[in-house]
């Protein structure tokens, strides 16, 4: 990992407490990705959470072992060194993290796949805005569709760069994520759904028909042909950014 890459530590105690207060963590197993030097970790421990912290940087892990030796000895905190985009993750019910910006997307998709009760996550604001962008608006993309299909996302508050050290160049937004029990619209095959959404948003200026025809290896060509004769013209002639959330399910559910 590059030196200081993606490390912006919370230094505003009020902001740290506000984040920790967003979820009822007492007695819950809470995954914290990128604990850094433990500002948020400490707030979570104070509120009675059982924290599983996964940190990429070995030096920071050593620091956490020193700062929290008591909590670790008592089993209230576990510190694991690893890359949260791909390492084995401990079991958890909740996630509370100030995420590394460059891994936000991978980590979010991974968490949604694993499942959890509730998450409080901090992202760069531009990313958080895309998460909540409704279908049919300019900001809406693959991230928006995938997240909104499987979860309800609420923006809670913004934090300016001076809450962190070193200061990031962008504002941050804290969001809450509640996974849905079932996707908003029935989806027959989740992998195909993901492939369809990806194929559509890789050419957002083209029509749905042309996106799907030109989707290369992403989708089975035989299936694409069936889909094009089955789907209503209204969907086929739209651009992906004009579709309703439901349309993505309709497209991917073609047998």
Strand order in the sheet with 50-55: 77-81, 50-55, 29-33, 94-98, 118-124, 172-179, 151-159
For residues 78 and 98, what is the distance between their CA atoms, to the nearest angstrom? 17
Q: Which residue among 20, 22, 40, 111 contacts ligand SAH (CB under 6 A)?
A: 40
For residue 226 the two structure tokens come to 């069936």
Verify binding: residue 35, ligand SAH, rule CB under 6 A. Answer: yes
State phi, psi for 174 to the nearest 5 degrees: -95, 130
Strands (E), the chain: 9-10, 29-33, 50-55, 77-81, 94-98, 118-124, 151-159, 164-165, 172-179
Candidate segments 55-63, 144-152, 169-177, 244-252, binder of ligand SAH by CB under 6 A? 55-63
Verify binding: residue 25, ligand SAH, rule CB under 6 A. Answer: no
Verify binding: residue 168, ligand SAH, rule CB under 6 A. Answer: no
Q: What is the DSSP letter of 158?
A: E
Shortest distance, CB of residue 148 to ligand SAH, whole angstroms?
Answer: 24
CA 148 to chain CA centroid, nearest Å: 11
Verify binding: residue 45, ligand SAH, rule CB under 6 A. Answer: no
Verify binding: residue 96, ligand SAH, rule CB under 6 A. Answer: no
Name which of 1 and 152 has its Cβ closer to ligand SAH.
1
Are the CB atoms for 171 and 8 separated by under 8 Å?
no
Name which of 96 and 208 has its Cβ closer to ligand SAH.
96
Verify binding: residue 56, ligand SAH, rule CB under 6 A. Answer: yes
Verify binding: residue 34, ligand SAH, rule CB under 6 A. Answer: yes
Query: What is the contact surface with ligand SAH in residues (CB under 6 A)?
Result: 6-10, 33-36, 39-40, 54-57, 60, 83-85, 98, 100, 103
């Amino acid at each position: 990992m590059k030196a200081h890459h993606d490390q912006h530590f919370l230094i505003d105690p009020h902001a740290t407490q506000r984040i920790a207060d967003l979820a009822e963590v007492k007695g819950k197993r809470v995954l914290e990705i990128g604990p850094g030097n433990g500002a948020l970790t400490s707030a979570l421990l104070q509120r009675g959470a059982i924290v599983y912290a996964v940190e990429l940087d070995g030096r920071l892990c050593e620091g956490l072992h020193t700062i929290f030796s008591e909590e670790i000895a008592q089993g209230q905190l576990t510190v694991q060194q690893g890359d949260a985009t791909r390492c084995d993750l401990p079991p958890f019910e909740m996630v509370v993290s100030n995420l590394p910006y460059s891994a936000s997307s991978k980590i979010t998709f991974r968490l949604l796949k694993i499942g959890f009760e509730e998450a409080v996550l901090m992202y760069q604001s531009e990313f958080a805005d895309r998460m909540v962008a409704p279908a049919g608006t300019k900001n809406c993309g693959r991230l928006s569709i995938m997240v909104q299909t499987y979860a309800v996302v609420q923006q809670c508050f913004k934090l300016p760069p001076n809450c962190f050290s070193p200061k990031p160049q962008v504002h941050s937004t804290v969001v809450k994520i509640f996974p849905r029990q079932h996707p908003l619209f029935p989806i027959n095959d989740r992998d195909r759904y993901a492939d369809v959404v990806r194929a559509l948003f890789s050419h957002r200026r083209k029509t749905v028909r042309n996106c799907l025809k030109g989707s290369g290896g992403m989708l089975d060509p035989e299936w694409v042909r069936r889909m094009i004769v089955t789907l209503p013209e209204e969907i086929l002639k739209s651009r992906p950014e004009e579709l309703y959330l439901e349309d993505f399910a309709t497209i991917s559910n073609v047998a």
